[in-house]
Every structure is written in structure tokens, then in C-alpha cells.
Structure 1
């Protein structure tokens, strides 16, 4: 430990030494003395040294080395906080900006994971001052700084609920607000170049770096956050600022959303770029942020077509925040499209197919009920927007690919609705009343596994198929006008009902035997329990019948088996009613 005279001697030597003659040992010694002052709580003395006019050459040359220790004290909110802040401010005004920036980027890169937000919040004002002092290469430095900051912030969990945002336990909301303030002067620089002055290459580069910042922000944290117009949360306000920034730097939203294939390689990799644009589309078309800046020349169908790529991206995710945004964007994109107007050609587009398949997965696999309910609503809205031919093709596709009785039964309900609509005056069409209708009925009246079909898992589809068949037979006038169509429908009906009867017979026998076995098993267990309760020395062993492994209790098994038998009764009653209707119609014709 050096005494006061030794320290004064070292300082005097530094004052008398040219900057170029300073050695690495001098830098290390300067840092050691600075850290010693900090550890001893001599913040006032250190500030006095840094601000002393006689020491400015020393501070300019070597001051950067104590920037990190000073910032560490600020983050710890140590005693003498005002002195530490004043010392850092003086360094940012005195040291060379390029050296300061290198030190600050090094600090950002090495942030303690437990102090990410505190460090960034303490550093941002000083970092802004340093960047504003730069002349050449400012744009690249702004870009590398924003990238480094966002890389660290991406490590923080994104608050999702209102309570989490209000608590802001990890500081992401505060950092997002501080980032907005941090970028303001650079946004203003870009705005100034949009006047009469021609933009330089440096100006264009700064604009690109700010655009990258906005796109990264859209992807993280905004894509993960719950954003609602009626809840002006900190992240909602950050989203507004990002959208306003895009407008301020004169970035055309249509080009970014619809025609940006040339730019994506400049901004980020393709998948990240698509996620960022998906969030942009959501903020623009669902939350209507800066919608006034979006030109009204694009048709609603074109906007829907372009948004389908982003909707597919969002619906392919398993995250609730992504799915919510995808369903909302799909709904809003469909709302302004006229009913029965979307042509069949759109279904050939890869994005339309991907969206419907991803939506199907939401309906069948998503464990969150309100998402399934929202998904079903937008599913019906989409169907309503298709024209007759497109509906026909879509129904066929879903019946072939869904592999889910619930989805298939929903499609069959829609087929019935379209058949009923076609019966009304002026609505007749071949897709739901003529030859093409038979191709749909072939898929509806079908048991893919034949006699081995599991009637319980297919119950929804089968019941809806029988109801449709019953309705078609009641309203058969139009179909009978085309003899070939009617004969083919009758043939399909007979084959279907014949196979269904076989299935019901096999299934009834199986479930009846299972129910009987279950009852016998319960009786056996009850008897064994009674025998075990009797004290006797004559019983040498108890033989327990081998049971069928099941996760269900005997009571639940009994209920399921009994329900299955009731279901078969319902199917048979519908079949009987269909046969009655057929016989009645035949008698009338004869």
C-alpha cells in the first residue's frame, strides 16, 4: 500500500510524461489507485482528482480504465453515488470517444447476468453522450451498440401479465423505455436528412441501423408480450415508439411488409425477419398503431394474401403470445373481405394451405381452451369468405387431411349449410347440388378403416354424417333431377350404411363383453374382500384373476362402456330413420 507522498510522486511523474511515453504499467497503476479510492469510499477525493485542471491530460489518456469500476459502484448504488455519476460524466466528456465506446461495449458484453437491467440503465445516458461525440463511423458504432444492448436484454424474461409488467422484476420495461430515449437523437439526425439536403452514405447507414433496431425490437420483446390497446402498458408504449420510429425514418411500411425480399438479408436472417414482420403486421392491422401512415390503395384481399405468410408463422408456434397474435391478425385480415368472394386459386398458395393446417393443429392439439375457441371462430369466418368452389375444395382437403373426428364433423355441418343454401332460389350451384356434390358425399360417407373403425373415436363424424344424409334424403327433389347423381348417391349411401351396421354389430359385441367382464370382475373382488374379512385357518392361498391394465377406475370404465352402447343405439336409430325416409320417398314415387 503506497503512502500519500508516493502517490503524489507518481501523479507528478504522469503529469511530466508525454502521452506516447506512458506504458502499460502506468495504465494498470492508474486503475489500481482508482479502485483503491473506490474501495476506501473516497469518492469525493477521486472526483476532485478527475476534475483537476492539472490532471486533464492524464485523465484523457488513461481515464477509460476506471470507467468500469465507477459504473460498478453506480450499479451497486454505493455511498457517494452523485460523485461516481459526476466522475463518469466527466470521463465521457474528456476521454477519446472511440476508446470510451470500446470500454463501454466491453462492459456490456461482460454484464453480470444478475445485473443486466441495472447496468444498462446506468450506462445508457453516458453511452448516448459518447456516441454523439463521434464524427466518422457514427452509424456503425450506433448499430454495434444497439445490437450489444439488445443481445443482453434478450436474456431477460418478457413480462406477460399486467401484474408482471407492473412489477417489472427484471427491469425489461424500464430498459425498453430508456432505449427509446437513447435512440431519439439518432432518429432526429435521420429525420433532418429527409429535408432538402441529399442524404450521405453515413446517413443511409444510420437509417439502416435504426431499422435493424426496430426489427429486432419487434421480434424481442414485443412478439412475446401481450399488447392491448386498452391497456397502455410499458411494452405497449414501447411498441408505439418503435412504430413511430419506423415512420420517422421514412421506412415505407408496405415495402417492409410486402416487398422486402431484397432487404431481409441486410437486416437479419430470414426466419427472424419473418417473425419481426409478423409482429409489425399485428401492430399495424390489429392494434392499428400508425395505420394512418399506411396507404389505402391496397385491396383487402391483397392484404390478406400478404398477411397469410405472417399468420402461418405465428400459428406454427406453441407460444400463447404468438398464437394470440396469429389468430387476431387472421381475424382482422378477413373482416373486411366480402363473404363468398375468395376464389379457389388462393387455396393453391402455399401460405393459405399452411395457415389452415396450422389452424387445424391449434383446434386439435392446443391445450389452452380460449385459444381453441378463438381458433374455431376464425375457422368459420374463413369458410364464410370462400366462394362456392373454394369451399368445396377446402372441405375436401380438410376431410382428407384433418384426421380428427371433431374437425370432420364441423366440416360436415358446413356442407349441410351449403347444401341447404343451394336449395334456395337463385343460389343453385354444381358444387353443393350437382355432380361435384357427390365427391364430397363420398368423403363424408366413408369409414376409412372399414369394419375395424373405432366408432367411439369417430362418433362425432359418423353422427354428423348420418344427420347430413337424413337431411339430403328429405330435401331430395333437386338431386333427383339428375338421375346419375341420384343413383350414385344411393349407391354410396347403401355401401356406407351396410358397412356401418357391421361396425356397430362388432363394436356392440366387443363392448358388451367388456362390460360383462367388468361386472364379473367386480363381483369377484367383492367376494374376495368378504372372504378375506373372515378369520379362518383353512384358507391357504387366494387366487386373483388377471386384470386388464387400465388407468380408469372400475366406475369410470363402467360409465364409458355403458355410454358406448348408448351411442350405438343412437346410430342405429338414425340408420332406421334414414331407411324409413327412403321407403316413404320410394312409395310416393311409385
Structure 2
């Protein structure tokens, strides 16, 4: 530690030395001097030194090195805050903006992981002051600062529930609101230059950096946040700021969403731009933020077609927030489309194939019930919008690719509904009544594993298939009108029922044997238990071993096996009824 005289000598040497002759060790000594004052609680003394008129040459030359110690002091302590804040403010007005910028960027890069939000909230107002003072490379510095700040904020968890967002435990919401405030002067600058038609390459670069900030914000935190227009949360308000900023910097929302070029994708970080635009579409069409100023010239089908790319992007994710937004955007994009209007040509587009397949994964693999329920509603909505030919093609595609009995049974149920609709006056068509219907029916009346089909796993699909077959046979008049259709239908029916009977016979034999074995095993264990009761030690041993048995109790196993046999009986009764109907129809002349 230096004594007071030594400190005075060093300060006098700094006063007598021109800036260009100052050495690196001088800067380090000055930083050590300031840090020592803060450590010893002499922040008032340090502020007095910095504000002293005769020291302004030193402050202007070397003051920027004190930014980090002063900011850390504000973050770490509640006392002497006023002195430290005043010192920081003085430095931002006195030191070289370029040197301050370099110091602040280093400080952001080295933020303590445990004090990210506190440091950023302290920094941002002063950072704005420094950036506004820059003449050269202002746009580049704005970009570097915003990128560095968002990189640090990406380390914080995004609050998801309303309670988490209101608590804002990690300060992420406050930080993004502070960023929104700090960017306003630069947004206004770009807006003013555009209005006056006096833009330069520097202005265009600033516009690009602000665009990158908006697009990064859309991806994180907004894509991960729960947003609800009925609850104007802090992140919802931040989303509104972003949506208002884009047009303000002359960035058309329709161009970003519908006509995004390779150039724009590069400007907005190519790897992330699709997710950013997906969130943009969600905020616009679901949350309806700035929808009043969005052009109304685009048809609902065009909007759906463009949004399918973003819906697909969201539904490929495993994150709940992404899936919720994808399903909501899918539903909202479909709602405005007229029922039975989407042509089959759309199904040839890649996104119109991929989205239903990803939706199928949500229905079959997603562990969250509310997402599966929403997914099923959206699937039905999509089916409702397809025209008859498109429905036919879509049903065939799903039956071929879904590999899930629940999804397949839902498609078969919709097939029956469509057959019923087609039989009403004025709705007749070849896709669900004529020759084209046979190709779909061939996929419905089909057992993928033949005689080895697991009837329990396929129960939903088989029962729906039998119900469809029974319905068609009862309402046979329309199908008999087309030559050859009825005969081919009967052939498909005979082959299907024949194979199904074989499956039922094999399955019934297997499950009956399992049930018999289980009953015998239970009798044997009961006998062993009675014998074991003669010895207390043996009783204890059996009790311990019994706890290691399979999680499914014998009672549950018995119930499952018995239920399987009842299911087979139900299937067989439906088969018998179908054959009775067929015999009745054969007696009726064509």
C-alpha cells in the first residue's frame, strides 16, 4: 500500500505527463488507485477527485479504466451508490466515447454469472449515453453492444408462467424492458433519416443492427415465453415494442414473413431467422399485435401457405412453448379458410406434408395431454378445410405413414363421416362413393402384420373399420350405382373379415392360455402361502420375495386378459352382424 505522499507524487506525475506518454503501468496504477478507494469505502473521496477541475486531464485520459470497478461496486453494494453512479455519469461525459465503449464491452463480456441482470440494469443507461456520443462506427458499436448484452441474457431462464414472470426472479424481464428503452433514440434516428431521405451507409448499417436485435429478441426470449393478449405482461409489452420497431425502421412485416430474401436471411442470422419469423407470425396472427396495420390484401389460403413453413419449424421442437405457438398459429391460419376449399395441389407442397406428420408426432409422442388435445382439434380443423379429393389423398397418406392405431382410427372415423356427407343430395363424388374410394377402402380394410397383428394395440382402428364397413353395407344403394364398385367392395370385405377371424382365433387362444396360466399360478401361490404359514421365518421370507414381483398385480393382469377376451367377442359380434347384413343385401335385387 502506498502512503499519502506517494499517492500525491504519482498524481502529480500524471498531471505533468501528456496523454501520449502515459504507459500501460500508469493505467493499471490509476485503476488500482480507484479500486483501493472503493474497497476502503472512500467513494466520496474518489468522486471528489474525479470531479476536481485540475484533474480533468487525467480523468479524460485514463478515467475509462474505472468503469468496471465502479459498476461492480454498484452491483455488489447498497451503500455509496449515489457516489458511484455520479462517478460513472461523470466518466461517460468526460472520457473518450471510443475508449469507454471498449471498456464497457469488456465489462459485459466478463459479467459475473451470478449478477447478470443487476450488472446489465446498471450498465444500460450509461451505455446508451456513450453510444449516443459516438460519431464513427456508431452502428457497429450499437450492434456489438446489443449482441453482447443478449448473449449474456440468453444465460438466464425465461419465465414461463404468470407467477414466474411477475416475480422476475432473475431480472430478465426488467433487462429486456431496459434494452427496449435504450434502443429508442437509435430507432428514432433511423426513422428520422428515412423520412428526410438522407440515409447513408452508416444509417443503413444501424438499421440492420436494430433489425438483428429485433429478430434475436423474437427468438429469445419471446419464442420461449408464454404470451397472452388478455394479460399485458412485461414480456408481452416487450413483444409489442419489437413489433412496432420493425415498421419504424422501414422493415415491412409482410416482406419479412412472405417474401424474405436470402439477403434478409443473412442480415438476421441465417440459422435463427426462421424461428424468429415463426415467432413474428405468431405475434401478428395469434396475438394480433399490430394486425390493424398489416395489409389485408393477402388471401387466407396464401397466408396459410406461407405460415406452414413457420408452423412446421415450431412443431419440430420438443419445447412446450414452441409447440403451443405452432398449434395456435396453425389453428389461426386455418380458421379464415373456407371449409372444403383447400385443393389437392397444396398437399404436394413439402410443408403440407411435413406439418401433419409433425402434428402426428405431437398426438402420439408428446407427454403433455393439453398439447395432444389441442393437436387433435387442429387436425380436425385441417381435415375440414380440405376439398373432397384432398381429403381422400390426405387420408390415404396418413393411413400409410402414421403407424399408430389411434391416429389411424381417427382417420377411419373421418372417412366414414365423409362417406356419410357424400351420400347426401348434391354431394356425390367419386372419391368417397365411386371407383377412387376403393383405393382408400383397401387401406382401411387392411391388417399390417396379417395374421400376427396385435389386435389389442390395433383395437381402435379395427373397431372403426368394422363400423365403417357396416355403415357402407347398410347404405349400399349409392355404391351399387357404379359398375364394379360393389363387387370390389365385397371382395375387400371378404378378405379382411377372413384374415380378421384368423387373428381373433389366434389371439383368443393366446390370451385364454395366459389367463389359465395366471389362474393356476395364483392357486399355486395360495397353496404355498398356506404351507408357509406353519413357519414364522418362512412367512417373513415369502413376504420379502413377494415385494420383488412385477409392478402389475395378479388382479390387474387378470383384468387386462379378461378385457382382451371381451374385446375379441365384441369384434366377432360385429363381424357376424356385417355378414348378416351382406346376406340380407344379396336377397335384394340390384
Same fold (TM over 0.5): yes
The CA distance in 1 between the partners of 2:152 and 2:278, in whole Å, is 23
| Residue 448 of structure 1: aligned partner | 448
Equivalent residue, structure 1, for 2:334: 334
- 1:253 corresponds to: 253
Which residue does the alignment assign to 2:172? 172
Tell me the C-alpha RMSD between the 2 structures: 1.9
Check conservation: 1:215, 1:277, Cα contact below 8 A.
Answer: yes
**Counterpart Cα distance in 2 of 1:182 and 1:519:** 75
Q: CA deviation at 1:266?
A: 2.6
1:284 maps to what in 2? 284
Partner deviation per Cα, 1:512-533 (whole Å, 9 max, x = no partner): 0000000000000000000011
Q: Distance in 1 between matches of 2:551 and 2:513?
A: 19
- Return the offset for 1:31: 1.2
Structure 2 residue 144 is the aligned partner of structure 1 residue 151: no
Give the Cα–Cα distance (whole angstroms) in 2 for the partners of residues 5 and 104 of structure 1: 32
Distance 1:268 1:298 in 2: 24
- Deviates further, 372-381 or 70-79: 70-79
Give the Cα–Cα distance (whole angstroms) in 1 for the partners of residues 489 and 551 of structure 2.
Answer: 43
Q: Distance in 2 between matches of 1:45 and 1:492?
A: 96
Pick closer, same or farther for the CA change 1:142–1:519 going to 2, 3 Å.
same
Q: Are 1:41 and 1:79, in contact at CA under 8 Å, matched by a contact in 2?
A: no
**Could you tell me how far 1:78 is from its partner in structure 2?**
3.9
Q: Please give the alpha-carbon distance, in whole angstroms, between the structure 1 residues aligned to 2:195 and 2:578.
A: 77
Structure-2 change in CA distance of 1:181 and 1:535 (3 Å): closer
Per the alignment, residue 358 of structure 1 pairs with: 358
What is the SS of the residue equivalent to 2:588? helix
The verdict on how the C-alpha distance between 1:228 and 1:586 changes in structure 2, with shifts beyond 3 A counting, is: same
- 2:296 aligns with 296
Instruction: Give 1:262 deviation, angstroms.
Output: 2.1
Match for residue 107 of structure 1?
A: 107
Write the mapping of 1:166-565 to structure 2, written as runs, cut at 5 A.
Answer: 166-535=166-535, 550-565=550-565
Task: Give the Å deviation of 1:21.
Answer: 1.2
* Corresponding residue of 2:46: 46
**How many angstroms does 1:26 deviate by?**
1.2
Distance 1:271 1:5 in 2: 59
TM-score (norm 2): 0.97
Q: Secondary structure at the match of 2:297?
A: coil
- Partner SS, residue 193 of structure 1: helix
Distance 2:201 2:537 in 1: 102
Contact 2:212/2:269 (CA < 8 Å) preserved in 1? Answer: no
Partner of 2:24: 24
1:3, distance to aligned residue in structure 2 (A): 1.9
Worse-matched range after superposition: 77-86 or 112-121? 77-86
Question: Which stretch has the larger CA shift, 305-314 or 11-20?
Answer: 11-20
d(CA) in 2 for partners of 1:182, 1:390: 51
Contact conserved, 2:400 with 2:443, CA < 8 A, in 1?
Answer: yes
The 3 A distance-change label for structure 1 pair 549 and 495 is: farther
Secondary structure of 1:576's aligned partner: helix
Moved more, 74-83 or 362-371: 74-83
C-alpha separation in 2, matches of 1:536 and 1:421: 71
1:282-333 alpha-carbon deviations (Å, 9 max, x no partner): 0000011011221111111000000000000101111110010000000000
Contact 1:247/1:293, CA 8 A, preserved across alignment:
no
- Provide closer, same or farther for how the CA distance between residues 133 and 585 of structure 1 changes in structure 2, counting only shifts above 3 A: same
The answer to whether residue 142 in structure 2 is matched with residue 142 in structure 1 is yes
Q: CA deviation at 1:103?
A: 0.4
**Structure 1 residues 537 and 297, CA gap change in structure 2 (3 angstroms):** closer
Q: Is the 8 A contact 2:121 2:178 kept in 1?
A: yes
In the alignment, the residues of structure 1 paired with residue 338 and residue 580 of structure 2 have an alpha-carbon distance, to the nearest angstrom, of: 42
User: 2:72 is matched with which residue?
Assistant: 72
Deviation at 1:99, TM superposition (A): 0.5
Maintained 8 Å contact 1:334/1:381: yes
- Alpha-carbon distance in 1 for matches of 2:502, 2:13: 105
- In structure 2, C-alpha distance between the alignment counterparts of 1:535 and 1:426, rounded to whole Å: 82
SS at match of 1:263: helix
Gaps of 5+ in 2: none
Matches within 5 A, 1:123-142: 123-142=123-142
Contact 1:479 1:486 survives alignment (8 Å): yes
Counterpart-to-counterpart distance in 2, 1:411 and 1:488: 22
Inter-partner Cα distance in structure 2 for 1:247 and 1:220: 20
- Worse-matched range after superposition: 286-295 or 385-394: 286-295
Contact 1:191/1:248, CA 8 A, preserved across alignment: yes
CA contact (8 A) 2:316 2:358 kept: yes
- The match for 1:588 is 588
Secondary structure of the residue that 1:314 maps to in structure 2? helix
**Are 2:363 and 2:375, in contact at CA under 8 Å, matched by a contact in 1?**
yes
Q: Structure 1: how far apart are the matches of 2:257 and 2:54? A: 57
Residues in 1 aligned to 2:345 and 2:179: alpha-carbon distance in whole angstroms: 45
Give unpaired runs (5+ residues) of structure 1: none
Asked if the contact 1:139–1:205 (Cα under 8 Å) also holds between the matched residues in 2, the reply is: yes
Cα deviation, 1:153-199, whole Å, max 9, x if unaligned, reads: 00000000011011111000100110011101000101101223321
2-structure distance, mates of 1:87, 1:240? 35
Deviations 1:12-34 (A, max 9, x none): 12111111111122111111111
Q: 2:42 matched to 1:9?
A: no
